[in-house]
Amino acid sequence: MMTPRERIKAVIHFKKPDVLPWSETFYDETTVTWLMQGLPADRVTMIEWVMNSRDGVLLLNWPAVMGFNPWAYFGCTDFFGCKVPIDVGPLPRYKLRVLKTNDRYEELMTETGAVARRIKKGEYMWYNMPMFVEFPVRDRKSWEEYKRRLNPKDPRRYPKDWEKDAYLEVFEKYQAGNTILVFNGFYGFGAEIMGIPTFNLMFYRDPQLMHEIAAYWEDFIVQTIRDAVETLKDRIDMIYWWEDMAEKHGPCVSPKLYREFFLPHYKRVVSFLKKNKIDRIMMDSDGNINPLLDSVIDAGITGIWPLEVNSGMDAIAVKKKYGNKLFLAGNLDKRELAKGGETMRREIDSKVPALKEMGGYIAGADHLIHVEFTLQKFNEYVEYLKKCLPY
């Protein structure tokens, strides 16, 4: 019997596993809601022994709740199960602080330098996202300032205990899922520091600056990950390349802009990875990414998640068009799955058997499992899907 890691590795290399791998991601509030709906707390709560208190004064070990592990309970895998611990964010971080507040909202300086306004009331705290009212980069001057926090040689980018042999061993032994290295693609990076409207406008307002930022992004990523990539090589099963560069209608940037501003830099990053035997790169982009797929493949990206049905993504159609140029993950319509019963079964039946035969597919919902998906309906989904996975 193959391990979960072996299954994922087989599929992303277009080989046949014994059982089709299945991966999900969960919002924490979904897990908490399910605890209230009867999910056994002792089976999904992760407890670790920590020094108490953490200032190191009291040398006492104490069990603390560190999070949730629904993956083991439901028997699916987590893309982020074993992650290379590199920090690709701004260093030093901005100081997280409340800038202003009133009865309904508070405005916070986030650690990445954006100002976020969020609703304070508990009723809307969960399953909500803040509104970003300001971003750290607006123009050349603010970019030059921000860039100072993107020093790839900053020793804080790697853990204090970065001891290569020990990490090699950890990555070698991990079998519960895939090992992964995560960073933002140029779109994800740019949208995070400028906000979507400004970043998209800048391609026309100041193309020279955008070329410079793209070149810096490339150099920053390669230099930052170099040590880990050259050490761990293909013990890293997959690169997780976050973009979120599409909306329902289509990509946020045209194929023309992609080819001009993204492609040359992407090819160089991918070439560096390939030189180190890492050749599986999964792009995370919501929305309708179809018009960009030719260019994305040209860049060296080899997989896509989550293929949102709501935006018109169809894994079977993508597979038919691109075959083994792309492995695919997700695409089971979360809205249909959450309805349960016949609707859920129809969604699975219409996709999983066909994609299983076509190969290069990791089953799962077409985004994170959201809070409206009840535990009872999710259990129903798990039970039915599991029957469809073995070859």
Partner 1 sequence: MSVNLLQNIVTTLSELEDSGKIKRLVQEALSQGIPVAQIVEAGLRKGLDAIGKKYEHGEYFLSELLFGAALMNDAFEILEPHLKLAGVENKGTIVLGTVRGDMHDIGKNIFGMFAKAAGFDVHDLGVDVEPACFIEKLKETEAEILALSALLTTTRQEMKTIIDQLSHAGIRVKVRVMVGGNAVTKDFAKEIGADYAAIDAVEGVEMCKRWMMEK
Site residues, partner 1 (CB under 8 A): 104, 117-119, 123-124, 127-131, 196-197, 200-201, 203-205, 247-254, 257, 291, 310, 335, 370-372
Q: What minimum distance in Å lies between the beta carbon of 254 and partner 1?
A: 5
Q: What minimum distance in Å lies between the beta carbon of 240 and partner 1?
A: 22
Q: What minimum distance in Å lies between the beta carbon of 232 and partner 1?
A: 36
Q: Are 329 and 304 in contact (CB under 8 A)?
A: yes
Please tell me what DSSP assigns to residue 236: S
Residue nearer to partner 1 on the CB measure, 72 or 371: 371
Residue nearer to partner 1 on the CB measure, 345 or 370: 370
Rounded Cα gap, residues 84 and 221, in angstroms: 14
E strand spans, 110-150: 115-119, 131-134
Residue nearer to partner 1 on the CB measure, 87 or 372: 372
Residue nearer to partner 1 on the CB measure, 1 or 129: 129
Rounded Cα gap, residues 16 and 93, in angstroms: 44
Tokens standing for 232?
A: 């761990």
Q: What minimum distance in Å lies between the beta carbon of 246 and partner 1?
A: 9
Residue nearer to partner 1 on the CB measure, 105 or 174: 105
Residue nearer to partner 1 on the CB measure, 200 or 302: 200
Kindly compute the dihedral angle of the four CA atoms of residues 197, 198, 204, 210, in this order, to the nearest 10 degrees.
Answer: -130
E strand spans, the chain: 45-52, 60-68, 82-83, 97-101, 105-109, 115-119, 131-134, 179-184, 238-242, 281-285, 303-306, 327-329, 361-362
Rounded Cα gap, residues 384 and 336, in angstroms: 14
Residue nearer to partner 1 on the CB measure, 119 or 168: 119
Peptide bond into 40 cis (omega under 30): no
Q: What minimum distance in Å lies between the beta carbon of 203 and partner 1?
A: 5
Tokens 């990509």 found at:
251
Residue type present at position 198: T
Q: Are 239 and 278 in contact (CB under 8 A)?
A: yes
Residue nearer to partner 1 on the CB measure, 71 or 378: 378
Q: Which run of H or E residues covers position 343?
A: helix 341-349
Answer left, alpha or beta for residue 250, where phi above 0 means left and psi between -120 and 50 means alpha: left
Q: What minimum distance in Å lies between the beta carbon of 258 and partner 1?
A: 10
Residue nearer to partner 1 on the CB measure, 254 or 374: 254
Residue nearer to partner 1 on the CB measure, 152 or 312: 312
Q: Which run of H or E residues covers position 241?
A: strand 238-242
Q: What minimum distance in Å lies between the beta carbon of 299 and partner 1?
A: 17
Tokens 């895939």 found at:
178
Tokens 């180190």 found at:
276
Q: What minimum distance in Å lies between the beta carbon of 314 and partner 1?
A: 16
C-alpha 105: how far from chain center: 28
Neighbours of 279 (CB within 10 A): 16
Tokens 């293909």 found at:
234
List all residues 6 or more positions away from 249 whose beta carbon is below 8 Å from its beta carbon: 288
Tokens 């701004």 found at:
90
Q: Are strands 115-119 and 105-109 parallel, antiparallel or unpaired?
A: antiparallel
